[in-house]
Structure 1
Amino acid sequence: MDEQEYIESTPSVDHPKPIISIVGRPNVGKSTLYNRLTRSRDAIVDDRPGVTRDRMVGVGRVGALPYWVVDTGGIESDDEEIHSLMREQVDFALHDSDAVIFIVDGRDGATPVDFDIAKLLRQSPKISVYLAVNKAEGLDRAMIAADFYQLGLDQPTIISGKNGDGVVRLMNRVLEETEARQSAEQSSYVIPEGVAKLAIVGRPNVGKSTLLNTLVGEERVVVYDMPGTTRDSIHVPFKFADKEYVLIDTAGMRKKSRIDDRVERFSVMKTLRAVELAQVVAIVLDARDGIVDQDNRLINLVFTSGRSLMILVNKWDGMSAYERDQVRAQIDRKFGHMGNIPIEFISAKLGKNIDVIMPLIDKLYDSAMTDMSTGQINRILKEAEEKRNPPMVGNYRIKLKFGHQGGMNPPHVIIHGNQLDKLPQTYQRYLSNTFEREFNMVGTKVRLSLKTSDNPYKPDENSRKSKDKVKYRGGGRGKAK
């Protein structure tokens, strides 16, 4: 998982954000367009081809709807390797995306590499491809567009990733058509109210499929292979102890034989989608590998998303006492700051310690969907303030007036008061931890929104300027007399 992941803390959704991938040969402006769409400078922009080596993933902010945007990275190779690397880049876009923006350089015209990429994109008619002609500033648009019709793709859109010309028009078209296509493909399966949506995620080969089969048994899983808004994620209803659950399944987890190694590497986008749709996320780690960088980034991704989280350390059998102590110490060092995250050590293959997982899922779901009354919130808020006063700002103390619930999954509390914009992060964590403890939450972090009241006695800036002008004019008239 070489990509940089980004996911916002938002409630789970029935329809995840579409994934828009940017493909093209080196140095045509993929990273510049990515930075403009995400309004960031995460991707490295350089005149040298192949500078972007890793895929970048961010939330698109240009257009009418939110979406994931992926910079698939530059191709840096000699002539012998360029075709295999180009195919890998396009394969990523086709397997994991809802739409592809194929970006070309208007000043260079259509090159042989552009023709090769276009040929690969035409082989997958299920994915919409949008041809964006970049770097066209100051050139005849009709003449530039004419050169790219020979690629056999859709109507070229002339843009400037650097200046932003045509980018909004392009994204409005991409999102409008993608949304219409997703609505037409929407599944008729409706998840019953009160049923937990579970995602089991992790690196390839850590035992996700084995765990699922051990939990519910492959022959007992009722599978509805009806795609929702994505091609790679389906709902798998199943029962355990006469209670209903829905697994948010990513392609290849249940039937891994259908997925080759090349596609399995592209797991991060499937993970993002599963996390968006879920209420409870179980992350599976391989105890024999220890905590590798991919595990660390994945856990932080889910933690940041606000989903209720549990960590399952698999393949615990056959390890020595010393090896187990080392893994425990590593987990405590890396994830101890996350607080009430449950960590279980299991063997999915042998079924050891599996019986604790489903009750934990119930607790995590209940925590994610905690209904906090306004009276309870204000009682807890008052007691927390009495035990530990907010800090002083100058001669005045920050005051917490009242609070109320703003949402679930993750639980969200909105607090109103004075000077809350100056409330330290340490005190905010203290309040979050207090709410989690009082409501007996497990694996769930309470998110806070702080609303500062306006000071009615603070002089209005415009009013003050107006008075200053009146005084100045009055003084002038006095002098004239």
Structure 2
Amino acid sequence: MGGAPSKTKSIIAIVGRPNTGKSTLFNKLIGERKAITSEFEGTTRDRITNECAFGNLDVLLVDTGGLEFQEHENIEEEVQIQAKIAISDADLVIFLISAKELLTSDDYQAAELLRKSGKEVFLVANKCDVSTSRDKIVELYGLGFGDPIEISAIHGTGMDYLKNKIIDRLKKLGFKKNKITKKKDSDIKITFAGRPNVGKSSLVNAFFNEEKVIVSDISGTTRDAIDLKFEYEGHKFILIDTPGIRSPGKRERRLEKYSVIRSLESIERADVVLLILDYKEGLAHQDCYVANSILKAGTGLIIVVNKSDLMESKQEDMDKFLLNLQSGLKFAPWAPVIFVSAKNKKNINKIFDLATSIKENRQKRISTAELNSFVADCVMKHHPTGTKLKKPKILYVTEVDVEPPHFIFFVNSAKSFHFSYKRYLENQLREKYGFEGTVIKIEFRGKPTRAQSAHS
């Protein structure tokens, strides 16, 4: 018996005009706070996606910016384009209406757009409670999508019913349950970080040859962290575009503070972070703040200088920029620097080669025997200095963790070692074993004192 092939992953888009609770519903359905929610209209601008399971069905859920149909500024027009792309890609659309308000012309025009799309549509009335007027619910039948499903996303009421309706519809559309097998996360996660308007989203779009994220001259266009899957020469990547990070004194509103939190979270879950700099603006204080956040997270780091197409004298300008960079980022001399142009797509693929190499460096393990032989040679070349009463001595060393590599040096007295000797050992490790692009942790651990032993 013939028929369409079974499908295992559906795409569900949540659409509606601004402030109907789309992001709240999105977060409730995926079970975590991924999309920003706020009382401000138009909080979501890009398409936010998340893979999740409804019952035993795999789903890619998509949150969108609010649909509006009046004249728009450039940035709002891009929001509408992103929302319409989400509808086009979707297998099923959740059309979200606020039961607290009367229907508007935007609601009716959104309904017309969805009818023309030919997509499966669930009409969902959000913000329903005991005080909701039945007249407002009856009014929703005029949109032409049958019985509205009544929910309150913020309170979680009606969510199980909505999920069950979605599961039933997806099965009728031919989506089959997918056997979920836990596998090691082999995707390399790359977070695009930097202050606002340095070209992070432009760089992401350059890889895909399409506008996956909104690009604008307005600072702060991206408001949430956005995960996008990408494959290059057999390696799988997750590209994470983030809102711009400004140092604490520069932040204005609560919404921006939350965006910065999401950016910092995205840095912490990355394998490699790209610190994007604007060639024309050079290294700013805010860039150092972002770099410091990356070092604290212990991730890999690549410094990406965007807009290199604006260089007048290429080699001379590059050398001058690198000199300023070395002066301003003395704490990360191990981070590779790459000059790119998102506009001309110049050098952008080299980012993936570097990221792959750095991921391997972060997973590098050195045997205890080899390490101790190596450190003995280091001590022979340069003895640690101390006082006559307490001479510093390394007893042995071992690597206790990876991502990032973490070395513990067991010593007679940790306080006897000057910080410069730790730096010497780090430089020797890097010279011998590479570790380009990754933080490495070095810890001196002394023998416990009698008082410490008595309490253990």
> 1:334 aligned to 2:331?
no
Residues matched between the structures, number? 267
> 1:388 aligned to 2:382?
yes
> 1:299 aligned to 2:291?
yes
Distance in structure 2 (CA, Å) of the matches to 1:393 and 1:306: 33
Partner of 2:441: 447
> 1:196 aligned to 2:188?
yes
Partner of 1:377: 371
Please state whether the residue corresponding to 2:342 is helix, strand or coil: coil
CA distances 1:212-236 after superposition (whole Å, capped 9, x unpaired): 2223444899xxxxxxxxx944543
Please state whether the residue corresponding to 1:371 is helix, strand or coil: coil
Partner of 2:402: 408
Deviation at 1:189, TM superposition (A): 10
Which structure 2 residues correspond to residues 44-83 of structure 1 after superposition, within 5 A?
none
Please state whether the residue corresponding to 1:288 is helix, strand or coil: coil
Partner of 1:283: 275
CA distance change for structure 1 residues 419 and 219 in 2, over 3 Å: closer, same or farther? Answer: same
Report the AA paired with residue 417 of structure 1: V
CA distances 1:114-167 after superposition (whole Å, capped 9, x unpaired): xxxxxxxxx9xxxxxxxxxxxxxxxxxxxxxxxxxxxxxxxxxxxxxxxxxxxx
Partner of 2:420: 426
CA distance change for structure 1 residues 455 and 393 in 2, over 3 Å: closer, same or farther? Answer: farther
Distance in structure 1 (CA, Å) of the matches to 2:256 and 2:449: 56
CA distance change for structure 1 residues 423 and 353 in 2, over 3 Å: closer, same or farther? Answer: same
RMSD: 3.9
Q: Is the 8 A contact 1:200 1:283 kept in 2?
A: yes
CA distance change for structure 1 residues 438 and 235 in 2, over 3 Å: closer, same or farther? Answer: same
Distance in structure 2 (CA, Å) of the matches to 1:302 and 1:327: 21
Please state whether the residue corresponding to 2:438 is helix, strand or coil: coil
**Pairing partner for 1:310 from 298, 302, 312:** 302
**Pairing partner for 1:246 from 225, 235, 238:** 238
Q: Is the 8 A contact 2:193 2:241 kept in 1?
A: no
Partner of 2:10: none
What percentage of residue pairs aligned between the two structures are identical?
29
Deviation at 1:421, TM superposition (A): 2.4
Distance in structure 2 (CA, Å) of the matches to 1:440 and 1:201: 24
Deviation at 1:367, TM superposition (A): 1.4
Deviation at 1:267, TM superposition (A): 4.1
Q: Is the 8 A contact 1:216 1:240 kept in 2?
A: no
Q: Is the 8 A contact 2:301 2:335 kept in 1?
A: yes
Task: Give ranges in structure 1 of 5+ residues lacking alignment.
Answer: 1-85, 93-122, 124-187, 222-230, 254-260, 463-481
Distance in structure 1 (CA, Å) of the matches to 2:353 and 2:453: 56
CA distance change for structure 1 residues 318 and 461 in 2, over 3 Å: closer, same or farther? Answer: closer
> 1:345 aligned to 2:345?
no
Partner of 2:142: none
Deviation at 1:264, TM superposition (A): 6.1
Q: Is the 8 A contact 2:386 2:417 kept in 1?
A: no
CA distance change for structure 1 residues 232 and 348 in 2, over 3 Å: closer, same or farther? Answer: closer
- Could you state the TM-score of these two structures normalised by the residue count of structure 1? 0.49
CA distance change for structure 1 residues 460 and 350 in 2, over 3 Å: closer, same or farther? Answer: closer
Report the AA paired with residue 390 of structure 1: P
Distance in structure 2 (CA, Å) of the matches to 1:306 and 1:235: 20
